[in-house]
Amino acid sequence: MKPSLAIIGAGLAGLTLARELSEQAEISLFEKARGLGGRMSTRRNATHQWDHGAQFFTARSKAFQSQLAPFIEAGNVVEWQPNIITLSPSDKPFKRPWFEPHYVAAPGMNFLLKAMSGELNIQLSTRVETVTRAQDKWQLFDEHAQLLGEYDWVVSSAPLPQTQALLPKALLGDDLAQYHMQPCYALLLTVDDAELPHWDAAKVNHSAIRWISFNHRLPGRNAKAGTVVVHTRSDWAAEHLEDDQEQVKQILLNTFCELTQVIPEAITLAQLHRWRYALSAEVIEPESEFILNVEQKLAACGDWCLGGRVEAAFASAHQLAGALRKVLA
């Protein structure tokens, strides 16, 4: 009989791990959100959609290129060649070249994860609240103390602070100082496309805002109207994390209008999203791409092990899958 393995979190890392170990283990995935995506989510209302987390990704490693190949073939992942500029409040904007391929999923960022999920056993809207030892198994409970099942192995792919809250300290070790996760605000707008500048995206300097993208202009979108995603700098978000959210929204709206010369009347909808654990600082010399305790049958992976990008989430899970394959065999 195959060992049972519970994976907490169905972002890119959790799904990568589940796909790569489906031959070796009986896998159950638990995801607290209503849909797949994690930080590669797409938010929708009746008429619009915004990719409010990851904006694009690179595929530098051979392993990630191979993983993406069938999804590129199927049109779930497409190369993005935007007209991208550098913008700052005081200088003239200038065009920003990109020297390697950048990809987005289509028709929304979370479609890569939807395509990856296939036949996997995923329980959405299920938050794992506690993980406890009962004889030779791990028991998972939700926030209502409801037993979610008993498993031989547990892997957390949740962001570091959430993994720390779930897994025993003994697994993670004392020295996690090299890993940091930082917040980010996302401002999501609808604006008539005719009112927007001609460029597709901007990297912003010397401002609370660090990134602006005209989301509807991404390839593969079926957009009927202009949608804009604005991201703040992490240090600005950290400073204003607990501020009144209406005030934060207003500051960012004003800054957006100043930077782009879009008139406030052209903005027909504005929503604010607070990412508490958005990005992790680059880990210069990671001790390992993942955390694994074979004796306890516990592990953790995710972008935070390697430095906060989509490709890091894949690499961490891919490396952990390789290590687990040896011990599950």
Ligand X SMILES: Cc1cc2nc3c(=O)[nH]c(=O)nc-3n(C[C@H](O)[C@H](O)[C@H](O)COP(=O)(O)OP(=O)(O)OC[C@H]3O[C@@H](n4cnc5c(N)ncnc54)[C@H](O)[C@@H]3O)c2cc1C
- Chain positions contacting ligand X, by CB under 6 A: 8-14, 30-33, 38-40, 53-57, 127-128, 157-159, 162, 166, 184, 186, 231, 275, 278-279, 302-303, 308-310, 312-313
Closest to ligand X by CB, 161 vs 266, is 161
Q: How far is the CB of 14 from ligand X (least distance, A)?
A: 6
Q: Provide the H-helix boundaries in the chain.
A: 12-20, 62-73, 111-117, 160-166, 169-172, 234-239, 245-260, 310-328
Q: Angle 117-122-127 (CA atoms, 0-180°, nearest 5)?
A: 130
- Among residues 201, 205, 259, the alpha carbon closest in space to that of 83 is found at 201
Q: How far is the CB of 282 from ligand X (least distance, A)?
A: 12
Q: How far is the CB of 11 from ligand X (least distance, A)?
A: 2
Closest to ligand X by CB, 53 vs 107, is 53
57 backbone dihedrals φ, ψ, rounded to 5°: -150, 160
Closest to ligand X by CB, 5 vs 184, is 184
CB 59 within 8 A of CB 35: no
Give the contacts of 33 (CB within 8 A, at least 6 positions apart): 41, 124, 125
Closest to ligand X by CB, 266 vs 281, is 281
Closest to ligand X by CB, 91 vs 287, is 287
Q: How far is the CB of 258 from ligand X (least distance, A)?
A: 21
**CA–CA separation, 149 and 115 (whole Å):** 26
H-run or E-run covering 8: strand 4-8
Closest to ligand X by CB, 80 vs 216, is 80
**CA–CA separation, 110 and 6 (whole Å):** 22
Closest to ligand X by CB, 30 vs 236, is 30
Q: How far is the CB of 265 from ligand X (least distance, A)?
A: 27
Q: Give the largest Cα separation in the chain, rounded.
A: 66
Output the six-digit token pair for 49. 């959609």
Q: How far is the CB of 259 from ligand X (least distance, A)?
A: 18
Q: How far is the CB of 36 from ligand X (least distance, A)?
A: 8
Closest to ligand X by CB, 195 vs 286, is 286
Scanning the structure block, which residue is given the tokens 């004889």? 135
Give the contacts of 178 (CB within 8 A, at least 6 positions apart): 283, 284, 286, 287
Q: Is the peptide bond before 93 cis (omega within 30 degrees of 0)?
A: no
Q: How far is the CB of 1 from ligand X (least distance, A)?
A: 26
